[in-house]
Structure 1
Amino acid sequence: MRRGFLLLSILLLLMASCELYYEEPVQRGTVRIVSIGITYENEPEEVADPEDEKKDKLGDLPGTVYDARELSDALKQQAMRAGWDSEDIKVTLLLQEGEDYSEVTVNDTGYASRANLKRTLEIIQGTATVDDLTIITYSGHGIEETGELLMAHTQTSGTVDISEDSPIVVTPEWLHDLIRPIEGKKLLIVDSCYSGVFVPESSSSLSWLYDKGIDDWYGKYFSDEEYEIPSCMVLTASADSDSYEIKFDDHNHGVFTSALLAALGWNHTTEEIANGVPPAAQNEMLTIDSIYKYIKKNQTYPVRWSLFSIGENVQHPMVTGGAMDMLLFRY
């Protein structure tokens, strides 16, 4: 028993003594923002057999396009507030909205298909430098329990397939393989159900999802591996549970994205960020950790069950673990 208390005391001391690493901002690079929003309103036909889980009709998500558009605007404006020139900020929107599924629609370069996402990230990979910051946001469906993302379909007829081999399914491995070779800092923001599966393990941390316990975390913390400054951070709406939308004025937003927009100082009426540093900034610095803390504190839905929240929707965001933080903007 005493040994257990001793180990716990040592662990708490080490955690308290670790200082976060704030990477210096480089305002001479390019900020690239890729925002994806999919409403799933344009499926060609109803599923014939409602019990066919692999080809079940996808529910509409009216808030996702608002998520994508407003997040990209808020992030662009914050980059300009932090010192970037507008010509050094590149925004790409990949959207699916409305009921049209014609060949012209699904083949448009701005359509939120998996092929267009792949093409966009490969173009960035070919042009990005070590001074650049790439931010990718996704608002859409995540497959129940397994978390894979569902891009917009490219069918002009027939029932949309969401089986494992479907061309609209995006796995964590597929997406991270495209993001990893991009030079510079990267941030992936995912607002979908079961999105915690996109938070990767690192040399300094484990993902808590599914089968990781305190023994695994303890072993990782005291391993001989050196801490690395992650070039890609991941921020997700939920761990291994559903995520939700809420009504905001005259349109919807994801619960997580609504809190993220508030963290960035977004005004839904003026469609501009507020003056001064954003609410989530600490010491005039906007970091992944400061955003995460703000979302957990200010999110509309509770982040954990309590005696007073049983029966309510609970949604707990996730972030890349470890002692390292990433600085986005300094003001």
Structure 2
Amino acid sequence: MKLHFLMLLSLSLFLGCELITPSPTEGKTHHLAIALSYVGTNIRSDDYLDGTLPDAIELEKAFDALFAGKEHTSTLMLQDGNDDLDDLLLPTKAHVIEKIESLSDAMDEQDILIISYSGHGMEDGSLVLYPPRNDGSIFSKSGSMYTDVLLTVEELYDALDSAKGSVLLLMDSCYSGNFVLESETSYSLIERNAYLQKIYDQYFTEGSYTRPVFVLAATTYDNTASETASHGHFTQALLEGLGWDEENQRQREVDQTISVDYLYQYVYYHQDIALNSVNSWEYQHPTITGGPLDLILR
């Protein structure tokens, strides 16, 4: 009888503990938007980008609306031709790394950091940022590109090293599939890039999900991405998937859980450029990180 009483008492205490266990704390979200038009640099004027700044500005509005009522903040790092190197929000390589490291350091485990990039990308996936020179020169007089304008895939992931929560990268640039590792559950078409294997092993292999990084990229590692006069094709569809009504500047009702997988599928089926074609400049195929995890935004 005494044994039964002790067992009942223990069970009662156990159930009592279960009942008073607090629900998980809802985390904060922060959106860092990086976008460059390249106006005022010494790249060809034909290579200036019209849709990048609208990408960043409208994504900021979309996330502000999506997370309305939540603890959400945003930062715009824009390059528009009126550039001052003393402006810490001018997207030079040093400024971008410093901002990402600062945001990563401030994260708790429940937080989400969203980083969007709209701009040029190199064949190895490197982002082309603003030069740390007053003349805005990206290319030297000999025609070679200065390396101090390039933020490599590895350098970006290194800047995220201290992030405790979840990170979502939204990459609208050429060759942005370099940020994605192919897997059996990935929608990506890319193959492994040997020089990025260390990064892939750290963030995307089994057992590495304690600091998950989710990636939605405009295209594969071996193809370009394009834009209209108002947006990148990828970001245009992404905004629609987020429920952002740009014409009326309001959030429309989305009868759907908005997650990374959902956004990929929305872009896949709704982007206004072909998924495949004979000529690379006529199409782009979005890519996404694979694996068992999905990131729910709302």
Is the TM value for this pair above 0.5? yes
TM-score (normalizing by structure 2): 0.78
Question: Which secondary structure does the structure 2 equivalent of 1:118 belong to?
Answer: helix
1:300 match: 272
1:66 match: 54
1:180 and 1:232 in contact (8 A); partners too: no
2:297 match: 328
Quick one: structure 1 residues 89 and 225, their matched pair in 2 at CA, closer, same or farther if it must change by over 3 Å?
closer
- Partner of residue 38 from structure 1, selected from 12, 29, 36: 36
Superposition deviation, residue 79 in structure 1 = 1.3
2:65 and 2:250 in contact (8 A); partners too: yes
2:39 and 2:45 in contact (8 A); partners too: no
CA shift digits 1:99-152 (9 cap, x unpaired): x34xxx122012111111111112112211001110000000011x32211011
1:264 match: 242
Higher relative contact order (CA 8 A, sep 6+): 1
1:161-240 correspondence runs (5 A): 161=139, 166-200=147-181, 208-210=189-191, 228=209, 231-239=212-220, 240=222
Letter paired with 2:254 = V
1:200 and 1:206 in contact (8 A); partners too: no
2:77 and 2:91 in contact (8 A); partners too: yes
Quick one: structure 1 residues 158 and 97, their matched pair in 2 at CA, closer, same or farther if it must change by over 3 Å?
closer
CA distance in 2: counterparts of 1:158 and 1:286, whole angstroms? 39
1:93 match: 76
2:113 and 2:167 in contact (8 A); partners too: yes
Superposition deviation, residue 75 in structure 1 = 1.3
TM-score (normalizing by structure 1): 0.71
Superposition deviation, residue 27 in structure 1 = 6.6
Unaligned runs of 5+ in 2: 1-22, 194-200
Quick one: structure 1 residues 315 and 208, their matched pair in 2 at CA, closer, same or farther if it must change by over 3 Å?
closer
Question: Which secondary structure does the structure 2 equivalent of 1:94 belong to?
Answer: strand
CA shift digits 1:35-81 (9 cap, x unpaired): 011000011x57xxxxxxxxx7781001101100111110121112x
Question: Which secondary structure does the structure 2 equivalent of 1:187 belong to?
Answer: strand
1:138 match: 117
1:205 and 1:322 in contact (8 A); partners too: yes
Quick one: structure 1 residues 207 and 165, their matched pair in 2 at CA, closer, same or farther if it must change by over 3 Å?
farther
CA distance in 2: counterparts of 1:225 and 1:255, whole angstroms? 32
Percent sequence identity is: 31
Superposition deviation, residue 89 in structure 1 = 1.0
1:118 match: 97
1:57 and 1:160 in contact (8 A); partners too: no
Quick one: structure 1 residues 122 and 311, their matched pair in 2 at CA, closer, same or farther if it must change by over 3 Å?
closer
Letter paired with 1:254 = G
Unaligned runs of 5+ in 1: 1-24, 47-55, 213-219
Superposition deviation, residue 183 in structure 1 = 1.3
2:18 match: none
Quick one: structure 1 residues 326 and 158, their matched pair in 2 at CA, closer, same or farther if it must change by over 3 Å?
closer
2:34 and 2:117 in contact (8 A); partners too: yes
1:203 and 1:226 in contact (8 A); partners too: no
Letter paired with 1:327 = I
- Partner of residue 286 from structure 1, selected from 258, 262, 269: 258
Superposition deviation, residue 273 in structure 1 = 1.5
CA shift digits 1:141-177 (9 cap, x unpaired): 011x322110112311374238676111011100011
CA shift digits 1:247-287 (9 cap, x unpaired): 3xxxx10000000011011112222221x226xx3xxx111
CA shift digits 1:13-46 (9 cap, x unpaired): xxxxxxxxxxxx9672211100011000011x57
Superposition deviation, residue 187 in structure 1 = 0.1
Quick one: structure 1 residues 302 and 201, their matched pair in 2 at CA, closer, same or farther if it must change by over 3 Å?
closer
